[in-house]
Structure 1
Amino acid sequence: MMKGVPNFLLVTALLSLTACFVSAYDPSPLQDFCVAIDDPKSSVFVNGKFCKNPKLANANDFFFSGLQIPRNTSNPVGSTVTPVNVAQIAGLNTLGISLARIDFGPYGLNPPHTHPRGSEILTVLEGSLYVGFVTSNPDNRLITKVLNKGDVFVFPIGLIHFQFNVGYGNAVALAGLSSQNPGVITIANAVFGSNPPINPDVLSKAFQVDKKVIDYLQKQFWWDNN
């Protein structure tokens, strides 16, 4: 009997340790930040959405129409993203998925960007796309591929990635994302088009270029294709 006690204690300790790991894990964020507040009366937003009474749910809460419609790509980057996330389908709340249609004009680009809260799986519906992502420090390795109709490519969560139309006509892709609200940070827009602007001295040293180059870039109009 006594010989079994240490084993029992060991199992109990392991289970307790596992429970600690599980309870200490935070859920994935669904927004850029959520400042903690003690007074619920002063709160204006939560991590996600408040839930509708399930008895009042209807088909329209889980429905979106019009994704088959081509979007206008006559903008400086030559592409337009049509998101379908929790903002468009309320029923996606807590399900951890969303998608987007991406339209590309000839030589259109979905500029280098990241999704801070979701991985992406992209399927080419029409045309040919040169796609890629960059691994994290210290390697910063570029992984690229030319995709044709029916091809699929994955972009891991948080990594900078892009899609560029290398065909002669229009291109269309459908992207699935592992978050109801994956977010998007377009690198050029965020670095050179922030509001208020980042101090030019900071960017000049970061990019190792003359301050005049930074001043020029910060004066450009950075197009948001989302």
Structure 2
Amino acid sequence: LSDMSYVHRDLAARNILVNSNLVCKVSDFGLSRVLEDDPEAAYTTRGGKIPIRWTAPEAIAYRKFTTASDVWSYGIVMWEVVSYGERPYWEMSNQDVIKAIDEGYRLPAPMDCPVVLHQLMLDCWEKGRSDRPKFGQIVTILDKLIRNPASLRELANSSVGREDPPTPEFSVSTVDDWLETIKMGQYKENFSSAGYVSLDSILYISVSELTKMGVTLAGHQKKILSSVQSLQTQGTHVHV
């Protein structure tokens, strides 16, 4: 699309269609525009809503959209995929997102994300649009990674979460507190309704039990089970 001088302006996981053979197609061209036959061409809009969490800072500030701003959005799509559908920037307001990005904040690596993939995301999120990779370069990088799976073995240490404390489980005394600490507070009622009312009761919870109670996102399951494993290992330090 970029080679054909199209700027999409709304690249997001919600706009990617996937068939049974895992072939992906970009959809929803409602905001797309054709640019001049110039790699530095930009489309400037005077109004309309902007998907803040997926949009490059210069596009938010000056409403100037380019292929480079689509590259920024592609980096967010990568993050969405690797985090199993997490909401970019979680519960932050749009204004908080804009401020954080301007101050240099970037989304951390999702849980079990290969270092090289997170680095590619960070490259897509360079503040200067000329410093971001071109889509042709991104395709080349991903092709090399596919051909060399060993390069994906090194995982980033960061897990999904904006500012997770180093040992959050040690200071909690209830299931609700624990869920809030690991930023899974939206599942309080699910755990309570399923009878998990004490920290002891969750120590041997399984994936199937999480699924039954409504925790179906794989990324959320992995985050919860990882924390449960920490509770098991450091059980003597937990206030139960």
Could you say which TM-score interval applies, normalised by the shorter chain? under 0.3
Structure with greater contact order relative to length (CA < 8 Å, sep ≥ 6): 1
Query: Larger radius of gyration, structure 1 or 2?
Result: 1
Structure with greater helix share of residues: 2
